[in-house]
Structure 1
Amino acid sequence: MKKLVILLVFVSVFAQETTHTVKEGDTLWDIAGFYYQNPFLWPYVWRANLTNIADPHWIYPDQNFIIPPSPEEALVEVPEEMPVYVPEEEVTMIPSALEPTTEVISVVKPEERIFSEEVIHRAGFIVDEDMPYWGKIVGTEPKAERVITSFKKVYIDRAGDVAVDDKLTIFRPGKVITHPKTGKRLGREIIVLGTALVEAIGEEGSRCKVMASYDLIKDGDFVTPYEPILAPEKVELIPATKEIEGYVVEVKTERRLTPPHVFAFIDQGEQAGIAVGDIFDVYQERNVGGKDMPDFKIGKIQVISVFNEASIGLVLADREPISMKRGERCRLASEAR
């Protein structure tokens, strides 16, 4: 009975609107994760504040946002006629922080496991050649949606070999990845925007529901069958047993809706024996008065996806702000096993 009372109070509190004042470093992704315990509900915060948010990629300190009731909580109904009896000794006090308020609350960012399927998926991937065409978004429900976010309906131009509940990856081709020193092509970046589930199948197309949006999705973006990701539960590291040096090929520092992760590409992959979990130290070359000085370590990259001639990793900066850039040298420091 005690648990029931706590649940009812929690639902009644968070079914009301509150207000959040943006702090430095906040994102809609973080805010939704804090208030709803589900960062993929960021579009609900965005839509409730369209007059204040011109672009959901950019929000600014001291902006005040309405935090609407979670769509998940709105589905919970508490019957008024159901009396609740709680013995006096079992009453649990609800912390005052849960009371309806417009008081400013700073976002607490939950710790996220590095090697989760979601993190690896939204980091994107690298293909040797251009992605073969499988399908694309050709319409929305309702029609002419300007941008597409979580839980929106979309239509795709694929029907014959699709089944209800098939999971799809929504993506956009990125730029060709080249080596910073030799110019050699290492592959093409694929920017993963989210996932969708097939809901219904027609003669020449299918209707899907967007289940997760890592960034803004648009009509014309591409879809392909989702490939399950084997994310290791834990990684045991040992000092590097082989000498492998390479270069940072790209650092994805542009503002996205799904921080705090900064992803980087390096020019070492399967051909060099790189594995998920391996850590590279990254160095900047130092020159003082025209004289070469010892290199300076600025951070680390932990590999989360490995491809033929390149890998994608998570930047682990030794200092802020992240100053890592294309062309800097990296050296294998720890191996995963």
Structure 2
Amino acid sequence: MRKRLIGLLLASCIAAVAHADILSIREDVPERYVVKSGDTLWDIAELFLQSPWRWNEIWYQNPQIENPHLIFPGDIIGLRWIDGEPRLTTLERGLEADTVRLTQDMADDGVVRLQPAVRYFNVDQAIPAIPREYIQPFLNASQIVTGEELNAAAYVVSGEEGRIVIGAGDRLYARGNWAGDGVAYELFRAGEAYRDPVTNDFLGVEAIALGRAEMEAIQGDVAKLHVVTSRSNIRLGDRLMLSERTRLEPTFFPATPPEGMTGQILSVVEGLSIIGQFNVVLLNRGAVDGVATGHVFDIMRQGEVVRDPINNQLIRLPEEQGGMMMVFRVFDRMSYALVMEATNTMKVGDTFRVPSIRRIP
């Protein structure tokens, strides 16, 4: 029965849908899959699609369930034929909830018939697009700031009782323009200033996260703050900015970037120059260039420079695909991305581009 269903779906896709090749459903696709704790959208997309970044083209939001764009552990995912196309959807919600089923009979005529269903759950339990553990520090504090933002940020002028090295639990004094009592601030140190490697345009300054402080008192432009957490020692001259706690939203999905978009990897966070799987990298493209959270890119490994044995000229060999990455945080002119796959050694300076259709055996 399973082979017959999959065969019918694939055959119908080829016969009736001109862009079936673009969707690229895997030949070994399971009839159904039970979502497990620890799964990500990327894991599930790879299970069903040869090109997992085309998730939005095949995902169908089951109208019988609340928050149909979210997937939870225990949910059952599978293929159904809807509106003349094979679509991936939530067939049943997890065991913890009232079960809601979408059967093939309910969707055979292309119109899904609704049945009453009520479900209450915590949306924070939905599976994320990519593993949280690798990117959480970059969601909570790390950021890119402009030169103007850096110069306008408040700065540490003294520790309590004249301390010059400050940590968690200490008090400090800082000078700047303040929003009011009881406001939380992120402490950071100005890191590397980045310029576009091609145009030399200024892109921004990396703000190295140091910790978090809470306002206790203000007198004029000088404030006293309590350091709640610290990742490293805080020094005089370090900066403070209003805390904008960013959490990983489960509502972004693997997606294809605009056609023709290319760029370059500026740095690998907490590394030297070599890039591997689950490294966080900084890109020279951002919101003004059309980059959005969830965009997936091929990483292209630069070809080596060799000497032509005949005419003695130096030539560069063709580039090769080295891996794949997904953008998870976007600033105006730069973005953070997580390397999801690494098939070859990659390094800072390698380029990236819109992914090409691939074939998975």
Query: What are the ranges of 5 or more consecutive residues in structure 2 without an aligned counterpart?
Result: 1-130, 309-314, 357-361
Look up the match of 1:233. Answer: 250
Distance (whole Å) between structure 2 residues aligned to residue 189 and residue 230 of structure 1: 19
Distance 2:261 2:221 in 1: 50
Counterpart for residue 271 of structure 1: 288
- Distance, in Å, in 1 between the alignment partners of 2:279 and 2:230 is 17
- Which of 169, 174, 182 pairs up with 1:151? 169
- Structure 2: which amino acid aligns with 1:195? R
- After superposition, the Cα gap between the structure-2 partners of 1:170 and 1:268, relative to the gap in structure 1 and judged at 3 Å, is same
Aligned position for 1:135: 154
Indicate if the aligned counterparts of 1:121 and 1:192 stay in contact, CA closer than 8 A.
no
Which stretch of structure 1 is more off in the superposition, 221-230 or 168-177? Answer: 221-230
Instruction: Give yes or no for the alignment of 1:329 onto 2:351.
Output: yes
Superposition pairs of residues 160-309 of structure 1, within 5 angstroms = 161-202=178-219, 205-229=222-246, 231-240=248-257, 242-254=259-271, 262-287=279-304, 290=308, 293-309=317-333
CA distance in 1, matches of 2:209, 2:141: 5
1:119 aligned counterpart, secondary structure:
helix
- Look up the SS of the partner of 1:333 in the other structure: coil
Rg larger for? 2
Q: Report the 3-state secondary structure (helix = DSSP H, G, I; strand = E; otherwise coil) of the residue aligned with 1:227.
A: coil
Aligned to 1:311: 335
Contact map agreement 2:155 2:174 (CA 8 A) in 1:
yes
Partner of 2:54: none
Residues 108-123 of structure 1 aligned to structure 2 (within 5 Å): 112-113=132-133, 116=136, 118-123=137-142
- Output the CA distance in 2 between the equivalents of 1:172 and 1:112: 24
C-alpha displacement of 1:317: 5.7
Cα gap change, 1:240 to 1:164, in 2 (>3 Å): closer
The 3 A distance-change label for structure 1 pair 166 and 129 is: closer
Q: CA deviation at 1:313?
A: 2.4
Shift of 1:177: 0.8
Give the superposed CA RMSD. Answer: 3.2
Q: Aligned partner of 2:280: which letter?
A: F
* Secondary structure, counterpart of 1:131 in structure 2: helix
Aligned position for 1:36: none
Does the residue aligned with 1:281 lie in a helix, a strand or coil?
Answer: strand
**Secondary structure of the corresponding residue to residue 170 of structure 1:** strand
CA distance, structure 2, for counterparts of residue 276 and residue 265 of structure 1: 13
The letter for the 1-side match of 2:151 is P
Deviation of 1:220 after TM superposition, in Å, equals 1.8
Distance in 2 (CA, whole Å) between partners of 1:274 and 1:192 is 24
Give the distance between the partners of 1:113 and 1:249, measured in 2 at CA: 22
- Secondary structure of the structure 1 residue equivalent to 2:328: strand
Checking the alignment, whether the CA contact within 8 Å between 2:141 and 2:186 is kept in structure 1 is no
Counterparts of 1:62-81 in structure 2 under 5 Å? Answer: none
Q: 5+ residue gaps in structure 1? A: 1-110
Q: In structure 1, how many angstroms separate the alpha carbons of the residues matched to 2:232 and 2:338?
A: 18
Name the SS of the counterpart of 1:180 in structure 2: coil
Distance 1:324 1:199, change over 3 A: same
Query: TM-score by structure 2 length?
Result: 0.51
Q: Tell me the CA shift for residue 166 of structure 1.
A: 0.3
C-alpha distance 119-164 of structure 1, shift in aligned 2 (>3 A): same
Amino acid at match of 1:155: Y
CA deviation after TM superposition for structure 1 residue 129, in Å:
4.2
Is the CA contact 1:246–1:331 (under 8 Å) kept in the aligned structure 2?
Answer: yes
> 1:18-55, CA deviations, whole angstroms, 9 ceiling, x for partnerless residues?
xxxxxxxxxxxxxxxxxxxxxxxxxxxxxxxxxxxxxx
Residues 304 and 149 of structure 1: is their aligned pair in 2 closer, same or farther, counting only changes over 3 Å? farther
Specify the SS of the correspondent of 2:237. Answer: coil
Aligned in 2, Cα 1:203/1:182: closer, same or farther, shift over 3 Å?
Answer: closer
TM-score (norm 1): 0.54
Deviation of 1:145 after TM superposition, in Å, equals 4.2
Relative distance call for 1:139 and 1:186 in structure 2 (3 A) is same
